[in-house]
């Protein structure tokens, strides 16, 4: 029983952590180039452990656009049907840089703190 509730709490914590990083990860995935939805999903699943479902991604993209962080355009693809490409606006680039900076500092400090814990586990 106790193990179960700990497991649930652990999963919930992990879910919260992923949720908090999602917006930064989406903005970061668009840092280098314009991408369409499916490419963003692939970038996130290949380069992070975020594994976002499409039902989560598209509404967030739509909000980031309303907030002026992203811009989009339909491009007639070779595939024969148009794709909606997204890219970062100037405020979007600023926000991505700020979030990445905060994340970097936060992760570096926490890494020092948890280092003995991780080390202890591996011994």
Partner 1 sequence: MTTSAIITDKRVEGYISRLDRALASLDPAEKTEILREIRAHIVDSTEHAADRDGTVDRVLRLLGTPEELAERYGTECLFTRASRSFSPWLLLRTSWRWAKLGIKGTMTFLLALFGYTTALALTVTVFMKPFMPSRVGMWIGPRGLNIGVPSHPELMHELLGRWFVPVIAVAAFLFAIGTTQALHWMFRKRAPNAVSPISRTATYGRAAS
Residue 64 and residue 68: Cα distance in Å, rounded? Answer: 6
Choose, by CB under 8 A, the member of 6, 31, 67, 73 that binds partner 1.
67
Cβ closest to partner 1, residue 10 vs residue 20: 20
Distance of CA 38 to the CA centre of its chain: 14
Q: Minimum CB separation from partner 1 for residue 84, in Å?
A: 5
Angle between helices 54-66 and 2-29 (to 10 degrees): 50
Which residue ranges make up the site for partner 1 (CB under 8 A)?
15, 18-20, 22-23, 36-38, 45, 51-56, 58-60, 62-63, 66-67, 74, 79, 81-84
């Amino acid at each position: 029983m106790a193990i179960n509730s700990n497991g649930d709490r652990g999963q919930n914590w992990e879910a919260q952590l992923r949720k908090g990083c999602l917006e930064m990860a989406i903005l970061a995935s668009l840092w280098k180039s314009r991408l369409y939805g499916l490419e963003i999903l692939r970038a996130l699943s290949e380069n992070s452990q975020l594994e976002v479902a499409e039902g989560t991604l598209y509404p967030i993209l739509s909000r980031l656009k309303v907030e002026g962080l992203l811009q989009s355009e339909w491009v007639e693809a070779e595939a024969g049907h148009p794709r909606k490409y997204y890219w970062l606006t100037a405020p979007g680039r600023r926000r991505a840089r700020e979030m990445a900076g905060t994340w970097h500092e936060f992760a570096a400090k926490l890494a020092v703190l948890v280092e003995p814990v991780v080390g202890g586990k591996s011994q």
